[in-house]
Amino acid sequence: MKVPELLAPAGDMDRLKIALAYGADAVYLGGKIFGLRAFAENFSAAELAEACRYAHDRQRKVYVTVNMFPHNEEIRQLPYFLRLLAEIGCDAILVADPGVFRTTREIVPELPVHISTQANTTNWQSALFWQEQGASRIVLARELSLPEICEIRQRVSLELECFVHGAMCVSYSGRCLMSAYMTGREANRGECAQPCRWRYALVEEKRPGQYFPVAEDERGTYILNSRDLCLLDDLPALAAAGVESFKIEGRMKSVHYLATVVRVYRAALDRLAADPAGYAPPAEWRDELEKIASRGYTTGFFHGPPAENMQEYDTVRVLPEWEYSGLVRQWDASRGLALVEQRNHMQLGDAIEILRPNGAIFRQRLEYMTDADGTPIERAPHPQQLIWLHLAEAVGDFSLIRRQRRN
């Protein structure tokens, strides 16, 4: 069995490095224009070039999102941006708008084009259309079941990419109108305010000012709030269906989310490659995914139309027991100390776990801590404060510290 590509999001250069360190084969990212994550850090022209160099030096790939739906004034900037992407050597671009696709084929015909999930490809005729236009890959809509994916695979030869993990919009393929209507921030131009995550109440027109909670039943008052996608158990079926790339959602997510999810799916794909018939996710993989913020997990449409338990009515988010607290910047082997950039409050006595790109996770108590100058301290309360921690085992670049939440 050919092992699919593991494709991870990169909201900025730090996240790109984390994704590659923890095992991604490729990353997708956006420039300052034409992407659908306007509030991510994103990449300047110089940073895009640096990202491509960094990835290519490690034999990894970079795909750049050009998947917004531009208006006339924006389309005028497109030729410049496309030539830039071709010049810096990005491996492909993601496109949803036919006008962007047409311009790409005219301006930089040598640049591979992946059809974004924003294009809502839900059937084989649409896939065949894009193949005939010259697209090299399609990111399939998240509404598709496994049998539908299999039929598309049988009828087209271009590469298929599927989401396997992450948040899902109320409009699953992403073309949602709610944000623009409710806030003036247009999701299809990269400015989504995520109104599907808000809390709602009903107002009867003759009773203004009287708010009635929206309730499916006694369980809660949240609507439009999908659980997060997790296809960890279904990777063998998806690979057997002929999907070439497994995609993780999350260009706006934290470094901790990215490292944790990429690490789990890298281990899963390695296990799948070694023993396809015996693949069975161990409990510790699922335990790891429970250590990041989520809305609970679902398989979405993969096994057919989803049941009502696809929605998370009890809480907006599942609060994990562990929280990201620091990023290792340096390891001093002679002293057994790690220089850590603090990301959440830590104090002596905390139970901590250390997540490494290579090597097992280990757990210990935080018993020794100094500031950057070596002065012993009991607490590290300041964001991005540099501190020295004594760790029981060696760590390398991009290792993460997380601590157990206190009662």
SS (H, E, C) 246-262: EEECCCCCCHHHHHHHH
Q: Distance between CA atoms of 40 and 190, rounded to whole angstroms? A: 10
Contact partners, residue 131, CB within 8 Å, separation at least 6: 138, 156, 157, 158
All domains in the chain, ordered by first residue: 5-174+225-310 (3.20.20.70), 322-404 (2.40.30.10)
Q: Distance between CA atoms of 196 and 216, rounded to whole angstroms? A: 16
pLDDT in tens, 118-146: 898 999 999 999 999 999 999 999 889 99
Taking phi over 0 as left and psi of -120 to 50 as alpha, with beta for the rest, 208 belongs to beta
pLDDT in tens, 239-297: 999 999 999 999 888 999 999 999 999 999 999 999 999 999 999 999 999 999 888 89
Question: In this predicted structure, what is the pLDDT of residue 11?
Answer: 92
Handedness of CA 295, 299, 300, 305 (dihedral sign): negative
- For residue 159, give both structure tokens: 């590469």
For the chain, residues with pLDDT lower than 50 are: 172, 215-223, 313, 316
Q: Distance between CA atoms of 63 and 20, rounded to whole angstroms? A: 13
Long-range contacts of 345-351 (CB under 8 A, 24+ apart): 345/379, 345/380, 345/381, 346/379, 346/380, 346/387, 346/401, 346/403, 347/378, 347/379, 347/380, 348/378, 348/379, 350/325, 350/403, 350/404, 350/406, 351/403, 351/404
End-to-end CA distance of the chain: 47
- Read off the DSSP letter of residue 226: B
Contact partners, residue 365, CB within 8 Å, separation at least 6: 349, 350, 351, 352
Question: In this predicted structure, what is the pLDDT of residue 220?
Answer: 38
Q: Distance between CA atoms of 178 and 197, rounded to whole angstroms? A: 11
Question: In this predicted structure, what is the pLDDT of residue 186?
Answer: 63
Radius of gyration of the chain (CA): 22
- What amino acid occupies position 132? E
Question: In this predicted structure, what is the pLDDT of residue 330?
Answer: 96
Q: Distance between CA atoms of 159 and 398, rounded to whole angstroms? A: 32
How many Cα atoms are found within 13 Å in the side-chain-facing hemisphere of 279? 23
Q: Distance between CA atoms of 205 and 311, rounded to whole angstroms? A: 28
Question: In this predicted structure, what is the pLDDT of residue 200?
Answer: 67
Strands 113-115 and 201-202: unpaired
pTM of the model: 0.86
Q: Distance between CA atoms of 362 and 354, rounded to whole angstroms? A: 6
- Read off the DSSP letter of residue 309: G
- For residue 154, give both structure tokens: 């049988």
As a whole number of angstroms, the longest Cα–Cα distance in the chain is: 74
Q: Distance between CA atoms of 160 and 397, rounded to whole angstroms? A: 33
Question: In this predicted structure, what is the pLDDT of residue 218?
Answer: 38
Question: In this predicted structure, what is the pLDDT of residue 212?
Answer: 59
